[in-house]
Amino acid sequence: MSIGTLPPVEPGEVTPLDDAQTIADALDGARLFKVSGRSMEPIALEDQFVITRAETINETTLARLEGGLVIAIDETGAKYFKRLRRFGDLIILESVNSDASTRSELLSLGGGDHPGLANLLSVAGVLFDEP
């Protein structure tokens, strides 16, 4: 079975990205957040930085971000860096860290007993050192 033409392989584990427009497009409207806590280890460690993009909260966006890393902001202003899961009108924000020291958070899309989801940002990347 042929998988088609593969891109040329360069020595090493990374390939430089020299196209300035691609870089500008990737970072357009991006915001940085500093990680606090251990809930997303080993993906992001405390004091590292997360690159995010603003999202519109709608059905299409929620479906696209299902299982993805997000920063969710509730109606009180609390910010959560978690993996997004949806169950009806309930948003389940799961920690990645499996040591059981950090719990999942529940937010609501339509009222109820949980704080409402007020803002959503998709995670585009993690910076390992200060920018």
For the entire predicted model, the pTM comes to 0.79
The bridge status of strand 117-127 relative to strand 69-74 is antiparallel
Residues 9-55: pLDDT tens digits? 667 777 777 778 877 887 888 899 998 888 788 888 888 899 999 99
Residues 98-116: pLDDT tens digits? 776 778 899 999 878 999 9
Domain parsing of the chain, residue ranges: 66-124
Q: Which residues contact 81 (CB under 8 A, 6 or more apart)?
A: 33, 35, 39, 40, 44, 50, 69, 70, 71, 123
Write the CATH number of the domain with boundaries 66-124: 2.30.30
* Residues of the chain above pLDDT 70, percent: 90
